[in-house]
Every structure is written in structure tokens, then in C-alpha cells.
A and B are shown apart, each in its own frame.
Chain A
């Protein structure tokens, strides 16, 4: 019996069309738009002005606080302007727009393919380096990685857990990374272990990727302290709390962080970025993006520069199919429908999912039939039907009592609801309001 998390969960059709597709390097785009807010926390502040010449990897916007991240130029060329563009949020946000000229990298970046296994940096140096390189959680949450690595005083980390689960249907970026960059990820893991001062790391991989489990297990033999944990396929296993539960059987108390139970979770993509930052001095300005969908002619995994317009990736994957009903940034469960295909790729773009028309429509919302399916699939043990009602009726104190803030927004409730009720939409609304109320109370 394979391990998984203990509460709830669903198993949507996996549809991993792009599995096994080699990572293709996307040509450098003619122009990139780099949003200055592409991570959780304070937006960065541009340090370049219109007309400035920049090189690949040069700092163009600096972090404005502890929970914030540096942003580096993904291309070389001239800053065309700093203007508002529509980004994945559906709103106009400030972005640095750069016109590409050639592909000249910053001299300090080591562009060789050699694997550097020896880790010379001290734990403090690693954390600083990770912060400087602007690394954020590449699973999609985009939480600055250096914040997670800085264990607060009084707490100790016992185990590092790596997320190679990729529980979102369709997406295969992490899977492919593990297959092609396994060694780099292993060294990255060692770097993270050193930074966190732990001697144990677990890489959780769902068993719908047997090749990745085999490949990583073979590699793990060469690196001390790293074990591979095959997991039963269950959504949302890639959620931090669920992964910790699945791997080490510990539950995080309500409102607390993973460090409370002595664990730190990082995505395998993030780990690769850490390796590149520490060993090769390469900041985070490109990432692997899956472009997939039922009618997409060539589902692929691309290595794309941040700021590349979405439609370039879609074109490279065979163009937008005629029956397109929805383009989603991310996976089908947690991703967000986009209002335009001109929005740029950001650090958090794990995939682009193109849904055909007949799959894209939501069903007609009907009355709740009290089947309590949403309660049984909720991985956090909440009552989504109740949370929706209290959010709709603006009963915020009750919403708080019912632990609305514990919701991880995985969407299992909306996915499973036979009456097509927009449960998560209302819960998100409630979370926003209750969060506001709670913050105003502590002020």
C-alpha cells in the first residue's frame, strides 16, 4: 500500500499528454514584458530606466522587503519602457519591457553544462545567494525561497521534503525536469540540506511517473541522505501540508507553517534553480513551462524566458486550436483562466492549458443537495458547503470559526460538486474578507 495524505482528496483524469516530451529551448523572444509583481510579497522596484542597456541575468528590479524577490533580465537588449500591461491577474500591472538585441549573458554566469557537485558555500552564503538570485517557489505559489530557508529562531528543521509530485493533471514540467536534470536536482537538494542544516531529505513522487521514480532512486544512491518516496496518485498531494502528511505522517496545526513540525518543502524546479544560482551563479530568469491540452497538436515542455508572451509558446506547440474555449495559466485544478494570450510568462507559470470549448464551460449551478461530497474530499477537513453559505451571507465570524483560513484553495470541492456550485469562488471571497478582518484586529 503506497503512502498518501490521510484526509480527503480526489483523482481527476491525469491527461499527461506532454509526458516524455524532451524539454525544448524556446527561441529568445523579440520583446519581453517582465512584471515587477510576480511573487508573493511586496512588488519589486525597478532599478533600470528607459533606454538602459541590459544583459541576460542583470538585476532589473530589486526586492523591497524580506518577503519579496529580485528580478533579473531574461534577455539582453534595451529597456524599451516601463509601463502598465495586462498580466495573468487580468489587471494592468507595472512591467519592464525590454527589446531584445542578441543574447549576451552576464559574464559572471557559468554557462557550461558541467555538473559541480562540491558545495563550497556556507549555509548563510547559500541563503543570501538564493535571495539574490530572486528564486521563488516554482510550483506555482511563487513564495520567495530564501524566506523558507531562513528557519526562525527557536525552531529546528529535521527534514527537507522535495515536491516532485506534480499532482495537477496535464502538467509535466517537473516530471521532465527530474528525468533530464536529475543530477542537478540531487546537488540542489544537498545545497538545500546544507542551508537548513539537516541530513535527511525525502523526494516525494507520485507513482504515475514510474520512470522518474526509477531514475531518481538510481541517482539517490550516489548522494547520502536522500530517499525517494513513491506516493499514491491523489490530488492535492503537491500541497505543502498534504505532502508532509504523506511523506512523514505529521499534521501541521491550523494556522501554522511546516517548520512547526520540523519540515521544509521545496519544489524540484526550485531546487534546480537553487543549484544553478549557487553553483553556476545563474539567477532565475527562465523556467520550464508545459503547454498542453486535448486539441493541442504538439503538447510540449519548453524552457522559456520569463516575460515571453504566452502566444509564442502556444505557437511553438502548434498554435491555438480552433475549438479553444479557455486558456488557463497553470493546471486545470488551481490554474486561472486568462483573458488574453498576450500575457507574459512569469516565474510562477508552470503550464499553459488550452481547453476545448466543450470542456471549458461550467455547468449550470443548482441547489445544494446536501450530499456532503465536498466535505469528504476536502483535504483540510473543512465543510465547503457551509463556508460557501456563510461567505455568501457575509457571516464572517462564523466563517472564521469554521476555519475558512485553513482552505488551501485546491478546488477539490468545486471539482466534485454534483450541483456545479461555485464553492471555491465563494470560499476565496470569504478568505479575503476574513483575512482582512483578522489583520485589522492585530493592528
Chain B
């Protein structure tokens, strides 16, 4: 009985002594951390994807608390709701960022772009890129080995077995840009999601001259500049044998889509075309 008592008392005394020392040490070396960082982190999506440019949500929260002007900070995953919630905690102003979405700018399906060589090396786009231009005549197009799909942490991409091209599931895409960085051919681009998720883009990145591009792929941009001429908003530039549509200038009039001789310009989420009606879409004015 005695032994038990002595043990309890001595351990109790030791414990309380240690507690007292720890209390004072904690007071002495206390690190002040802005409590708002925790609060902001709470409202962030905790995806830690790096889409904001910071290494994880915590770092982004710290950056938001520290900087006075947070108008150039944006969490693409959370979007406007998250940003305004975070700004409300901090009492700062946020600029409304347009929602973005990843777009695959290659339509070189097996049918459109015949394979001329066979690749049986490592299943990695980066490795294949270091070895050659690709298994088709187009050295800019998609290699179809799916490095972008591997990079996507939001389950927003898959490889279409039939076309051999990656497909983006718009609802899941948070525009973190991981696929854009992963693609060694720079095919994937983050573009403005657009009103009602409608957008128009050139689905080609081939910089060869027209004849060579067309020979390699039937839906390649041949840089004929027809789209550039017809565009009423100067949104299209043709550089380096390739047309590019500036999504900030594009008013979604769809004139270029009809004009393109190779169907390289794609429109997404538009209603099926009504017979012979050519007028700008009303929503675009907003």
C-alpha cells in the first residue's frame, strides 16, 4: 500500500512541477499568430492544389492576411463565393475573377490525324517529347499518353479511348492549372468559362505552314486568316501559322466558327444551330 502511495505522490509532484515549468516556458516563448489565418483557412477549400500559386491553402491564407491589397489573389477552386467569404473575414476588397476552365486545344483524333509511327516506350508524355515529335505528322499535337490526366487531382479529366485525346469534365474542373503545367506540348490552356459556360476557341496548336499542317491533320489550323478577317471584334490574331482567339475580346458571335475551312474553331455549350440564323448571342452583352 505504501509503495503505491509513494509512487502516486512523487509522480504527482513531478507532474505538477513539469506543468508549472511548461506553463512559464509557453508564456515566455509564445509565438503570436494572427487568428484570422485560421479563420481564412477554414473557408478555403483545403484542396492544397497550388492553383493560386501558393504552396497549399495555409500559405494562401497567410498571404491573404498579410497583404493589404488582395485584388490579385484568387482561389480558382473556391471561386467568387470563397473569396468573398474570406474577404469578409479580413474586411478587404476582392476583385471578381472570371471563372476559368481548362481547354484541350487539339482535335487530332485517330481519324483526323493518322498515325505514321508507333511508340512503345515509357508511358509518359515528357519522355516521348524528348524522343520525337509524336506518332503523327504533327509535332505539336497531343501524344495521348495521359500525363495531364495523372496530374489532375479533381477527377476532372479522362482519356477518351476512341479519340486518344484527354477530355475535361467541366463540372469537376477547378482551373487549378495542374494539367496545363503537366502537358509538355502546351496544348491545355485555361480559358474564361464564359456566360452559360459557352466559349469559342481554336482547337489546334500546330505551328507548321498550312500545307504541312493540313497534311498531318485534317482539322488543323492552316493559318488562312479567314477568321481574323471576319471577326468584328479584333479578337483573333494569327501568329506563327496559328490563329488564337483572345477570350477577353471574343463576344461569342460564332462567325469564325462557320468561316473556318478546316473546322479547327470549336464552340462549346451552344444550343444546336438553328437553320440559317446568324446573329450574335444575346447573353454576350452582359
> 1/0 per position for A361-402, CB-CB distance to B under 8 A?
110010000000000000000000000000010000000000
Q: Which of A135-143, A267-275, A421-429 contacts B (4 or more CB under 8 A)?
A: A421-429
Q: Contact: A90 with B124, CB < 8 Å? A: no
Q: Contact: A432 with B130, CB < 8 Å? A: yes
Q: How far is the CA of A425 from the CA of B126 in the complex (A)?
A: 10
Q: Contact: B133 with A339, CB < 8 Å? A: yes
Which residues from 117 to 150 on chain B have a C-beta closer than 8 Å to any C-beta of chain A?
117, 120-122, 124, 126-127, 130-133, 139
> 1/0 per position for A284-295, CB-CB distance to B under 8 A?
000000000000
Q: Contact: B116 with A339, CB < 8 Å? A: yes
Contacts of B130 in A (CB 8 A): 428-429, 432
Q: Contact: B122 with A92, CB < 8 Å? A: no
CB nearest neighbor in B for A424: B122
Residue from A339, A361, A362 in contact with B117 in the complex, judged by beta carbons closer than 8 Å: A339
Q: How far is the CA of A223 from the CA of B130 in the complex (A)?
A: 45
- Which secondary structure characterizes the binding site on chain A? mixed
Q: Does A336 contact B (CB under 8 A)?
A: yes
Q: How far is the CA of A432 from the CA of B124 in the complex (A)?
A: 14
Q: Contact: A92 with B133, CB < 8 Å? A: yes
Residue from A91, A361, A392 in contact with B133 in the complex, judged by beta carbons closer than 8 Å: A91
Contacts of B127 in A (CB 8 A): 422, 425-426, 428-429
Residue from A339, A365, A425, A426 in contact with B132 in the complex, judged by beta carbons closer than 8 Å: A339
How close is B208's CB to chain A, nearest CB, in angstroms? 8
Which residues from 333 to 349 on chain A have a C-beta closer than 8 Å to any C-beta of chain B?
336-337, 339
Which residues from 13 to 55 on chain A have a C-beta closer than 8 Å to any C-beta of chain B?
none
How close is B141's CB to chain A, nearest CB, in angstroms? 13
Contacts of A422 in B (CB 8 A): 121-122, 127
> 1/0 per position for A412-426, CB-CB distance to B under 8 A?
000000000010011
Contacts of A361 in B (CB 8 A): 120
Contact (A362, B121) CB under 8 Å given A91-B139, A339-B116, A429-B126: yes
Q: Among the interface residues A86, A91, A339, A425, which one has the most CB atoms of the partner chain B within 10 A?
A: A339
How close is B169's CB to chain A, nearest CB, in angstroms? 25
Q: Contact: B122 with A90, CB < 8 Å? A: no
Contacts of B132 in A (CB 8 A): 89-91, 339
Contacts of A428 in B (CB 8 A): 127, 130
How close is A69's CB to chain B, nearest CB, in angstroms? 23
How close is B210's CB to chain A, nearest CB, in angstroms? 14
Contacts of A429 in B (CB 8 A): 124, 126-127, 130
Which residues from 80 to 125 on chain B have a C-beta closer than 8 Å to any C-beta of chain A?
116-117, 120-122, 124
Q: Contact: A90 with B133, CB < 8 Å? A: yes
Q: How far is the CA of A342 from the CA of B117 in the complex (A)?
A: 14
Contacts of A337 in B (CB 8 A): 131
Contacts of B126 in A (CB 8 A): 429
Q: How far is the CA of A422 from the CA of B116 in the complex (A)?
A: 23
How close is A325's CB to chain B, nearest CB, in angstroms? 9
Q: Among the interface residues B121, B130, B132, which one has the most CB atoms of the partner chain A within 10 A?
A: B132
Q: Contact: B121 with A336, CB < 8 Å? A: no
Q: Contact: B120 with A425, CB < 8 Å? A: no
Q: Contact: A425 with B122, CB < 8 Å? A: yes
Q: Contact: B124 with A92, CB < 8 Å? A: no
How close is B153's CB to chain A, nearest CB, in angstroms? 14
> 1/0 per position for A167-193, CB-CB distance to B under 8 A?
000000000000000000000000000
Contacts of B131 in A (CB 8 A): 90, 336-337
Residue from A91, A336, A426 in contact with B122 in the complex, judged by beta carbons closer than 8 Å: A426
Q: How far is the CA of A51 from the CA of B133 in the complex (A)?
A: 30
Contacts of A86 in B (CB 8 A): 133
CB nearest neighbor in B for A336: B131
CB nearest neighbor in A for B128: A425
Q: How far is the CA of A239 from the CA of B190 in the complex (A)?
A: 46
Contact (A92, B139) CB under 8 Å given A428-B127, A432-B130: yes
Contacts of A89 in B (CB 8 A): 132
Q: How far is the CA of A91 from the CA of B131 in the complex (A)?
A: 9
Q: Contact: A425 with B124, CB < 8 Å? A: yes
CB nearest neighbor in A for B132: A90
Q: How far is the CA of A203 from the CA of B243 in the complex (A)?
A: 58
Q: Among the interface residues B127, B130, B139, which one has the most CB atoms of the partner chain A within 10 A?
A: B127
How close is A338's CB to chain B, nearest CB, in angstroms? 8
> 1/0 per position for A317-355, CB-CB distance to B under 8 A?
000000000000000000011010000000000000000
Q: How far is the CA of A297 from the CA of B116 in the complex (A)?
A: 25
Q: Contact: A362 with B120, CB < 8 Å? A: yes
Which residues from 220 to 261 on chain B have a C-beta closer than 8 Å to any C-beta of chain A?
none
Which residues from 169 to 227 on chain B have a C-beta closer than 8 Å to any C-beta of chain A?
208
Q: How far is the CA of A89 from the CA of B116 in the complex (A)?
A: 16
> 1/0 per position for A90-111, CB-CB distance to B under 8 A?
1110000000000000000000
> 1/0 per position for A56-98, CB-CB distance to B under 8 A?
0000000000000000000000000000001001111000000
Contacts of A336 in B (CB 8 A): 131
Instruction: List the interface of chain B (C-beta within 8 A of A).
Output: 116-117, 120-122, 124, 126-127, 130-133, 139, 208
Not counting A92-B139, A426-B122, A426-B124, a sample of 19 additional A-B residue pairs whose C-beta atoms are within 8 angstroms of each other reads A90-B133, A91-B132, A91-B133, A92-B208, A336-B131, A339-B132, A339-B133, A362-B120, A365-B122, A392-B124, A422-B127, A425-B121, A425-B122, A425-B124, A428-B127, A429-B124, A429-B127, A429-B130, A432-B130
Complex A-B: 14 CB contacts under 8 Å: A90-B139, A91-B133, A92-B208, A336-B131, A339-B133, A362-B120, A392-B124, A422-B122, A425-B121, A425-B122, A426-B127, A429-B124, A429-B127, A432-B130
Instruction: List 9 A-B pairs, minimum CB-CB distance, nearest first.
Output: A90-B132, A422-B122, A425-B122, A339-B117, A362-B120, A425-B127, A90-B133, A91-B133, A339-B132
